[in-house]
Structure 1
Amino acid sequence: MLSAKSLFLEIVDNDESFRLFCSIAASGESQGGWENARIAALVPRGERDLAPKITRHGADEDKHGRIFNALLKKRGLTPVPVPPDTDYTVLLERHGIGLAHDRLRADRPLTEQDIVTYLAHSRVTEQRASEQMELLRRHFADHPDLGRAVRMISEDEDNHLAYCHEELLRFAAAGHGRAIQRTLRECALAEIRIHRDVSLAVMARMGRILGWPKGRSALLAFGIHAVYAYERAAGWRRMVSLRMPERRNALGGPATPAPELA
């Protein structure tokens, strides 16, 4: 039977498909770490209290990248180059979602609107990350090799999502409500399209590595398109709602050290 658990187990059990999966994940997390570090360095004077939380966010992302690389090392594997059509983070930036890398490389302080844009982008992408890690946690929390890493990353992603909700509500109360809702909607609609395209590209490559029959690959592609159709019709709304989280000040402390996985 084709299920999320059986599909992921098949990917994990094959060295080449596991190598590609971890390489894509590590690259995206490391890129997120760099982006957050630059944003923390450029926070406008009036929002300096936010800088430690952004720094913590970036440190968590860097940690996740190290965890995925450690999982590869534990299996005696090395990372592979990330195919351009599977690079979720780069594709988001290329489509104008979030803050442009040219802007982050400059040494000019960001504006309040830039910070709103960053938080709205993060709220959308952290929704996706939290849901994906919750799925893995549900199926692999007790896995002998992956369980500890999955539990730690899932906990971090939930913290990141809570932080985005809390900070965006603060900015909304300060008069940025309309800009936040407009930016959230733009980000969400772009993200679901890019997530669909990346998912199709990743599954196509996994299918070639694992020798899936055409029928199975076609079924998976149909499922990805069906999810996109639902998200395009209504599912995107879960990415733009804001509510005060139960986890308050979720990024107010130091980053949790990564476990020794290698």
Structure 2
Amino acid sequence: MLSARGLFEEILDNDESFQLFCSIAASGEAQGGWENGRIAALVPEGMRDLAPKIARHGADEDKHGRIFHALLKRRGLPPVDIPPATDYTMLLEQRGIGLPHDKLRRNTPLTEQDVVVYLSHSRVTEQRAADQMEMLVGHFGDHPLVGNAVKIISADEDNHLAYCHEELLRLARLGHGRTIHRVLQESARAEVRIYRDVSFAVMDRMGRILGWPRPKSALLKAGIAGLYGMERAGGWRRMVSLSMPERRDALGGPATAAAF
């Protein structure tokens, strides 16, 4: 019987699949670091109190990218170019989720609306990241190679999610509630489709590397399709609810170093 732990053990035990896995993860984290760094630099004057928290978010993402590169280095493996179909962050941008990169490359200050859109999009994608890292910690928190890495990243993702909840609730009280509700719903519905498509692409590539038989690949694809069906039917709603987190001001200090 297939299990998440068994699949990830296969991926971790093979150099080529491990190389692709870490390269995909590092690429996404580096992109997130760049995006948050640019947003922090362009925050409008009336919202400058958010800039240090956004910068901290970006610094955490950069740190995660370095962690995945360090994992590759420990195995004596270089990073590889990732297939476009596995590039989650690029596909999100292409679907109009988040802030366009051409806007972030300019030196024109963002608007309050832009920041609300950014935080709403982040609340959705950080939910996905936090869920994935929680699963990896549950299965591999004690793994000699990746255990420490997944625990560090998981703790950061929990902080990022708490920060999104708290700041969006604050902005809703300031009159942005309607925009937040709309963007959360649009982002979540698009994200579950993109996550499905990326999952298909990643599993297809892993299957070719690891030589999975057709029945196994078909079963995995059916599982991905089933998860998408559940998320499309209502599971996406977990990505749009807002509640005050237990940990307040989760990004209120400098980024923590990775003891890795």
TM-score range relative to shorter protein: over 0.9
Aligned to 1:225: 225
Q: Which runs of 5 or more residues in structure 1 are unaligned? A: none
> What is the alpha-carbon distance in structure 2 between the residues aligned to residue 79 and residue 144 of structure 1?
21
> What is the alpha-carbon distance in structure 1 between the residues aligned to residue 247 and residue 53 of structure 2?
14
Aligned to 1:215: 215
Is 1:157 equivalent to 2:157 in the alignment? yes
Aligned to 1:110: 110
Aligned to 2:11: 11
Cα deviation, 1:146-189, whole Å, max 9, x if unaligned, reads 11101000000000000000000000000110110000000000
Q: How does 1:17-28 map to 2 (within 5 A)?
A: 17-28=17-28
> What is the alpha-carbon distance in structure 2 between the residues aligned to residue 176 and residue 64 of structure 1?
31
Is 1:126 equivalent to 2:140 in the alignment? no
> What is the alpha-carbon distance in structure 2 between the residues aligned to residue 181 and residue 229 of structure 1?
22
> What is the alpha-carbon distance in structure 2 between the residues aligned to residue 100 and residue 204 of structure 1?
29
Aligned to 1:257: 257
Cα deviation, residue 258, structure 1: 1.8
Aligned to 1:101: 101
Deviation above 4 Å: which 4+ runs of structure 1?
Answer: none
CA RMSD of aligned residues (A): 0.5
Aligned to 1:89: 89
> What is the alpha-carbon distance in structure 2 between the residues aligned to residue 39 and residue 140 of structure 1?
33
> What is the alpha-carbon distance in structure 2 between the residues aligned to residue 178 and residue 50 of structure 1?
21
Q: How does 1:176-195 map to 2 (within 5 A)?
A: 176-195=176-195
Cα deviation, 1:121-149, whole Å, max 9, x if unaligned, reads 10000000000000000011111111110
Letter in 1 for 2:198: V
Aligned to 1:138: 138
Letter in 1 for 2:101: H
Letter in 1 for 2:41: A
Cα deviation, residue 15, structure 1: 0.2
SS in 1 for 2:2: coil
> What is the alpha-carbon distance in structure 2 between the residues aligned to residue 253 and residue 149 of structure 1?
21
Letter in 1 for 2:19: R
> What is the alpha-carbon distance in structure 2 between the residues aligned to residue 214 and residue 246 of structure 1?
46
> What is the alpha-carbon distance in structure 2 between the residues aligned to residue 22 and residue 6 of structure 1?
18
> What is the alpha-carbon distance in structure 2 between the residues aligned to residue 56 and residue 130 of structure 1?
17
SS in 1 for 2:244: coil
> What is the alpha-carbon distance in structure 1 between the residues aligned to residue 84 and residue 131 of structure 2?
24
Cα deviation, residue 49, structure 1: 0.6
Aligned to 1:64: 64
Letter in 2 for 1:229: G
> What is the alpha-carbon distance in structure 1 between the residues aligned to residue 259 and residue 68 of structure 2?
11
Aligned to 2:36: 36
- What's the % identity of the aligned pairs? 74
> What is the alpha-carbon distance in structure 2 between the residues aligned to residue 232 and residue 146 of structure 1?
32
> What is the alpha-carbon distance in structure 1 between the residues aligned to residue 174 and residue 151 of structure 2?
35
> What is the alpha-carbon distance in structure 2 between the residues aligned to residue 41 and residue 205 of structure 1?
37
> What is the alpha-carbon distance in structure 1 between the residues aligned to residue 86 and residue 51 of structure 2?
30
> What is the alpha-carbon distance in structure 1 between the residues aligned to residue 254 and residue 37 of structure 2?
15
> What is the alpha-carbon distance in structure 2 between the residues aligned to residue 70 and residue 94 of structure 1?
30
Cα deviation, 1:91-117, whole Å, max 9, x if unaligned, reads 000110000000000111000000000
> What is the alpha-carbon distance in structure 2 between the residues aligned to residue 175 and residue 209 of structure 1?
51
Could you state the TM-score of these two structures normalised by the residue count of structure 1? 0.99
Cα deviation, residue 12, structure 1: 0.2
> What is the alpha-carbon distance in structure 2 between the residues aligned to residue 235 and residue 247 of structure 1?
25
> What is the alpha-carbon distance in structure 1 between the residues aligned to residue 2 and residue 238 of structure 2?
27
Cα deviation, residue 259, structure 1: 2.5
Cα deviation, 1:58-81, whole Å, max 9, x if unaligned, reads 000000000000000000000010
Could you state the TM-score of these two structures normalised by the residue count of structure 2? 0.99
> What is the alpha-carbon distance in structure 2 between the residues aligned to residue 151 and residue 178 of structure 1?
36
